[in-house]
Amino acid sequence: MKDFFLFVILIFCLNAVQAQINLEYSYPNTQTNEFTIVKLGYAGDKYVSVDLYFTQQILIYNLNQVLEKTISIPAAALSDYSQVYYVSDNLFDTDSRIEYLVNKPLPPNSAFSSTYIVKEDGTIILQVDSAGHANYQNPNLISEFTDIFPTSSGTKLILKKPGYGFLVYSLPGSLPCYECTDGGFTGNITGPVENENRSSLSNPFPNPTNNLTRIDYQLPGGIRQGELIFYNTYGMEVKRFKVTDVFSFINVSAQDLLPGTYYFTLQTSEGLSDGKKMVVIR
């Protein structure tokens, strides 16, 4: 009798567990479709379906299974073995529209390929012939970041050009961050051990700005001064300010800067702080 009751309890528990897993929806599928979830910077989490062979389209669905956007992939970026990577709305551009990277093997199945970055309206904003993936998946990363990396001086794209070398591009946006602390990757990337005695910066406020913006900072213990350095998206320095431990914030004027995205960091004798982003509008 005791064994019988234990069996009944076990069956009840198994049914209770199974009842927590539900099929939400069934999307149309073909052998050539790719289907995944993408974390967009402005629009949030979306289902993304890629069909490179039948319709040559990217379909964007919200989490309620409603089709929000249909994007046609331009013929110039297509071959028999093309692949779409990094569907994003804040990685390759600073607006809220969708962009994506296409790797196009030339010829099919060869070691040579070309790389395209395309806007949702079909505009090709970067074309690099005979250059493709530079790295296989980094084993330290949970997500499949193969060519794009977050750094303290912005986001970098690395492509390999056979017979030439490696090409490094600075991107205006950032990778999706699933596990983050103050904008820094904690769950997706394994980095060096953090130095507790380091500089720190706040995000600017207001941001975007068309005039003054406030940036709070903290110097490492025992350090009396440092420099706040601003760069454009090409990595060129555009501004530099001296800061001291007398204050903990600085008001920065953006009136002499062109509209666009800028990155800044705090440099002291102890090294560099994490980078932050400031957007200037008019």
Q: Give me the pLDDT at residue 108, please.
A: 52
Is 80 exceeded by the pLDDT of residue 156? Answer: yes
Q: Indicate the number of domains in the chain.
A: 2
* 106-115, 154-163, 181-190: range with lowest mean pLDDT: 181-190
Q: Identify the pLDDT of residue 9.
A: 53
Range of the domain at 227: 200-280
Neighbouring CB atoms inside 10 A of 96's CB total 11
134 and 56 both lie in a single domain: yes
Residues 45 and 162 placed together within one structural domain of the fold = yes
Whether 54 and 154 share a structural domain:
yes
67 lies in a domain?
yes
Shared domain for 133 and 204, answered yes or no, is no
Q: Is the pLDDT of residue 268 over 50?
A: yes
Tell me whether residue 84 is exposed, middle or buried, using C-beta atoms within 10 angstroms of its C-beta: 0 to 12, 13 to 18, 19 or more. buried
Q: For residue 268, give the CATH number of its domain.
A: 2.60.40.10
pLDDT at 191 over 50: no
When pLDDT is averaged across residues 99-105 and rounded to a whole number, the result is 89
pTM for the model stands at: 0.57
Instruction: State pLDDT tens for residues 3-61.
Output: 545 544 555 555 555 557 888 777 766 555 678 888 887 778 888 888 887 889 999 99
Residues 222 and 267 in one domain: yes
Q: What are residue 264's DSSP bridge partners? A: 230, 276
Residues 92 and 156 in one domain: yes
- What whole-number distance in Å separates Cα of residue 159 and Cα of residue 163? 13
What mean pLDDT value characterizes the chain?
77
194 in a domain, yes or no? no
